[in-house]
Structure 1
Amino acid sequence: MSNLSLSPLFRRSIGFDRFNDLFDYAMQADTPNYPHYNIEKTGDNNYRIVVATAGFNEDQLEINLENQMLTITGKSEEEKSDTTVEFLHKGISKRSFKLSLRLDENVEVQQADYENGLLKIDLQRNVPEGAMPRKISIGHKTNEQLLDESNSE
């Protein structure tokens, strides 16, 4: 029996449940794992994306939103190789990256901050009045139905 991880389904979307797109993405073999990032829910309709961008400064980072696709790009400057240094272990990765996340049509980017190597992007979901959940009573006629019945008599 194979183990199928559904965690990519929940990591790559914010504010909506479109399983066809998410399932297609989850089945791709080249799921990016750099840079590391968190998607946090900070309120009922508030989200935050936190991207670990150690070694980058604000000038090397770019955030774009086009067709509900949020793209975070980091462009590293080429390191000059120092021939006097021999690495015994090179675990600090500073390479260019492009991270794309699809947003629901009702999710808006509020602001972005960069502090201590973490890029924080605050998002807010604005649900239209017609799409808000509503309670439907059982077995009771609405005021409109009562008015229609009284007018037809």
Structure 2
Amino acid sequence: MRIDFSSLYPNVVGFERMARELEGLFEQKSAGWPPYNIEKLEQDRYLITLAVAGFERDELILETELGTLKIKGQKHPQEGERTFLHQGIAERDFELSFKLSQHVEVQGARLEHGLLQIELARELPEPLKPRQIAIGNPETLALPSAE
């Protein structure tokens, strides 16, 4: 499924590169395994869910560095030889990377029923948050006079 972000920018000129980067976030160049979902929970909160059946907590590594979330799965070697009549559950190592937007931070992660869920949230610093500015009297402002 391809997500088209062009409808989000009908009145913006010069931000085509940003739109292409947003599209690229949802078109990960991976082998397609493990499968994952990216959900928008509410304003500025997101959830990435990976299907990692067969992996234990100590076989999964999550790291963030320079705006990138990396998720690695490294299976421990199995003792003894196993004979499969059919093997449909992949038990191979993997590495996925997700480029995070500015000010998006990982809030936490949990592994339950073979699903790894990673919560993300955008936390804007105070100076970047919108604020209302009160209009005062001319006498209270330290502006140069128009003389």
- Kindly tell me: are residues 71 and 90 of structure 1, through their superposed partners in 2, closer, same or farther at Cα, counting changes over 3 Å? same
Instruction: Give me the whole-angstrom Cα distance separating, in 1, the residues matched to 2:33 and 2:75.
Output: 14
Q: 2:98 aligns with which of 101, 107, 121?
A: 101
Q: 1:120 aligns with which of 103, 114, 117?
A: 117
- Kindly tell me: are residues 86 and 44 of structure 1, through their superposed partners in 2, closer, same or farther at Cα, counting changes over 3 Å? closer
User: Which AA in structure 1 matches 2:91?
Assistant: K
Instruction: Give me the whole-angstrom Cα distance separating, in 1, the residues matched to 2:123 and 2:76.
Output: 38
For residues 77-136 of structure 1, the C-alpha deviation after alignment (integer angstroms, 9 at most, x for no partner) is 234433xx351x32111111001001112111111111111111111101245544689x
Q: Give the conservation status (yes or no) of the 8 Å contact 1:8–1:26.
A: no
- The TM-score with structure 2 as length reference comes to 0.69
Instruction: Give me the whole-angstrom Cα distance separating, in 1, the residues matched to 2:4 and 2:26.
Output: 5
Alignment of 1:3-152 (within 5 A): 6-7=2-3, 18-21=18-21, 30-79=29-78, 80-82=80-82, 85-87=83-85, 89-132=86-129, 143=135, 147=138, 151-152=145-146
Aligned length: 131
User: Which AA in structure 2 matches 1:97?
Assistant: F
- The TM-score with structure 1 as length reference comes to 0.66
Instruction: Give me the whole-angstrom Cα distance separating, in 1, the residues matched to 2:53 and 2:124.
Output: 35
- Kindly tell me: are residues 19 and 60 of structure 1, through their superposed partners in 2, closer, same or farther at Cα, counting changes over 3 Å? same
Unaligned runs of 5+ in 1: 10-16, 136-141
RMSD of Structure 2 on Structure 1 (CA) = 3.4
User: Which AA in structure 2 matches 1:78?
Assistant: P
Q: Give the conservation status (yes or no) of the 8 Å contact 1:109–1:123.
A: yes
In structure 2, the residue matched to 1:14 is none
